[in-house]
Structure 1
Amino acid sequence: MTAKHAFHLALLVVFMMVAPARAEDLRAVMEADNARWLAAYNANTPAAFPAMYAKDAVLLPPGSQPVNGNEAIGKFWEARLKPGDKKDHTFEIVSIHQDGKYAYQVARWTVVVVKDAGERTRFSGNTVRIFERQPDGGWLTKVHIFNADK
C-alpha cells in the first residue's frame, strides 16, 4: 500500500467516524429541545412557547388554519392548555436529519390528560418539526406539523 492510499484510507475512516458523531450530537439537541417543549406543555406554562419557535415560524395543527409567528403560536398553545388538568405528554423520536442550517425531526407523540375528578384520556399521533439553526448556534422550530391518530 502506498503512502497515498494509506492517507486516503485514513481520511475515509475519519469521515466514517465523524458522521455518526454529528448524528449523535443532533439527537442530543433534538432530545433537549423536546424536553424543553414537554416541560412547558406538561407544566401548563404557555408563555415558554414563543421562545422555542422562530419569529416567522408556522404551526399547522390538524383541522385548523396555519398559525403564523412565534407569538401567535404561544397564544395557540395557551388556548389549548387547560389550567388544572395534569398532563403527561411525551415524544418518541422516529427519525432526524440535518442538511446545513435546517434539521427535521419525525416523532410519535402521546398525551394523557387527567381531569380533577381523575378521568384519564389518552391521545396520540405523529409530528414533524423543522428546525432552523440560529446565528448563536441554537435551534428554533421553523415549521411544526402534527396530527392525531383516529
Structure 2
Amino acid sequence: MTSEVVNKAAKWDETFNRGDTVSLGGFYAPEALVIPAGGAPVKGPEAIGKFFKDLQSNGFAGHKIVVDSVIEDGNTLIASGKWQLNGPGENGATKQYGGNWVNVVKRNGADLQILLHTWN
C-alpha cells in the first residue's frame, strides 16, 4: 500500500511542477478540502486547482513530497510525510520552504482520491 501512495505522491509532484493545476484538481475527491497552514479551507477539485495555480503565479515551484507513513483502514488511508517547495525569498532570492503534511485518502475503485490535504 505504501508504494501505491508513494507513486501517487510522485505523480502529484510531477503534475504540480509542470504547472497543470487543472489536472492537479483531479487528484481530489468532489468533497475534498485543502486546509493550508494558517489559511482558509478550500473545497472541491476546481477551487483546489485554482488555489495551487495562484500559488504558482506567486513564484512557488519545485514541489517535492516524501511519504513517511501510511495507515490503512478499509478504503480509507492516512498518509503523512514531509514536503519542500521553492518560492520567493528576500531581495528576489529563492527560498526553500518545507514542513509536514497529512492526507486523508479514499480508495475509489483502482484509484486513490484525496479527501483532506493539510500541512504546516
Aligned residue number for residue 36 of structure 2: 61
The verdict on how the C-alpha distance between 1:49 and 1:122 changes in structure 2, with shifts beyond 3 A counting, is same
Secondary structure of residue in 2 paired with 1:140: strand
Which protein is bigger by CA-based radius of gyration?
Answer: 1
The verdict on how the C-alpha distance between 1:61 and 1:86 changes in structure 2, with shifts beyond 3 A counting, is closer
TM-align CA RMSD: 1.9
Q: In the alignment, does 2:17 pair up with 1:36?
A: no
The verdict on how the C-alpha distance between 1:27 and 1:113 changes in structure 2, with shifts beyond 3 A counting, is same
Length, aligned pairs only? 118
Aligned residue number for residue 18 of structure 1: none
Aligned residue number for residue 95 of structure 2: 121
Q: TM-score, normalised by structure 1?
A: 0.72
CA distance in 1, matches of 2:117, 2:13: 14
Gaps of 5+ in 2: none
1:143 maps to which of 94, 116, 119: 116
TM-superposed deviation, 1:112: 2.3
TM-superposed deviation, 1:39: 0.8
CA distance in 1, matches of 2:33, 2:11: 19
Kindly provide the CA deviation profile for residues 23-48 of structure 1, in whole angstroms up to 9, marking residues without a partner as x.
xxx11111111111101221122111
Alignment of 1:21-100 (within 5 A): 26-82=1-57, 85=59, 87-100=61-74
2:104 maps to which of 123, 130, 149: 130
The verdict on how the C-alpha distance between 1:146 and 1:92 changes in structure 2, with shifts beyond 3 A counting, is same
Asked whether the 8 Å contact 1:46–1:75 carries over to 2, the reply is yes
Asked whether the 8 Å contact 2:60–2:85 carries over to 1, the reply is no
Pick the structure with more strand per residue: 2
Structure with the bigger RCO (C-alpha within 8 Å, sep 6+) is 2
Q: TM-score, normalised by structure 2?
A: 0.88
